[in-house]
Structure 1
Amino acid sequence: MLRFRLAELNDADLYYRWSNEKQTRQNSYNQDVIPYESHIKWFEERIRSDDAYMYLFLNEQDIAIGQVRIERSKGPDAGMAVIGLSVDSEQRGKAYSAEMLQIATADFLSKNAGYSIHAYVFVSNEASYKSFLRAGYKLIEKKLEKGILSYILEKKS
């Protein structure tokens, strides 16, 4: 059984390592390595934001295994949030993703009634796509997103 806590400032280096893992970069719309200074600025902004929910997941041995980030959109997309997921390279293949997504989604929607959460997953990333489906997300379309063929999935409260 997984448990989570919200990320804290002292988790910045862990998130930095995860965000620059080779497979994480390959499955991101921005595939460039993220400079440390840029990451720290971004991370601190997210930690302080009321619109960003950064869930840090731990396994039964209290080992950090990955993270889910859900950010509420503003402006014309108000009422919508975008979700992202990454799992530590040593923890992949252990079927954690769907459980992490279910837990984070349920927590977010319990605090944000009426929101819908959208996930953007590369068509080439079949493992993530299946994890989102197992977590109860529904495919709403398949389209080019930032030049990459992607599944757009949604979960509503």
Structure 2
Amino acid sequence: MSSKNKIRLKPYINGSIMLTRLPEISLRPVRIEDCHIIWEWANNFDIRQASFNENLIDWETHIKWFKNKLRDPHCYYWIGLNSDKKSVGQIRFDLDPKTHEAVVSISISPQFQGRKYGQVLLEEASDILFKKTSAVCIKAFVKLKNQRSAHVFKKAGFHEFSKAIINGCPSFIYMKSKQ
């Protein structure tokens, strides 16, 4: 599962066009050995601030949660690897088998943030989820103040579906439907 070296055209009002090269990503299923790095990413200050629960996650709680996710048949969980095979982030979809709606959770390693890996990881993993499962749509919950994530979801083809208060936080709900 790998993205090709994509080039995007970005048109400007004045008629000029900028070529934007997106990073290459491959996906592999999350494994038990990923537990520690995912815990480190989850406890990164910026990632905690973007989360609906900003408290640090203790190791024992994380291990229990992580093992449950690995056993969950409705959880689709991948690590994104760059062209050097370094882990750049994680993406998880929790699919409701009754509604066929999935909820996405994504985080990018702090050392790879700001390089468009989030956009490519979202695009590639969403495509795979739609092709290999019964998912008809994907929902993402993003705090209103988290403009960086909102931008990534829009770039990855999600649209603003509605606004809501989630855990006391004004939030966007983004959605992407199966094509």
TM range (shorter): over 0.9
1:139-154 aligned within 5 A: 139-154=160-175
Contact 2:92 2:104 in 1 (8 A): yes
CA distance in 1, matches of 2:102, 2:125: 12
Deviation, structure 1 residue 49: 1.1
Moved over 6 A (4+): none
CA distance in 1, matches of 2:105, 2:61: 18
Deviation, structure 1 residue 114: 4.7
Deviation, structure 1 residue 112: 2.0
Structure 2 unaligned blocks of 5 or more = 1-23
CA distance in 1, matches of 2:97, 2:58: 27
Counterpart for residue 68 of structure 1: 91
**Is 2:51 the partner of 1:28?**
yes
Match of 2:118 among 90, 97, 107: 97
CA distance in 1, matches of 2:134, 2:34: 28
Deviation, structure 1 residue 46: 0.5
Match of 2:72 among 25, 46, 49: 49
CA distance in 2, matches of 1:114, 1:56: 20
**What is the TM-score of this pair, normalised by structure 2?**
0.83
Backbone CA RMSD of aligned residues: 1.2
Greater share of residues in helix: 1
**What is the TM-score of this pair, normalised by structure 1?**
0.94
Task: Mark the structure with the bigger radius of gyration.
Answer: 2
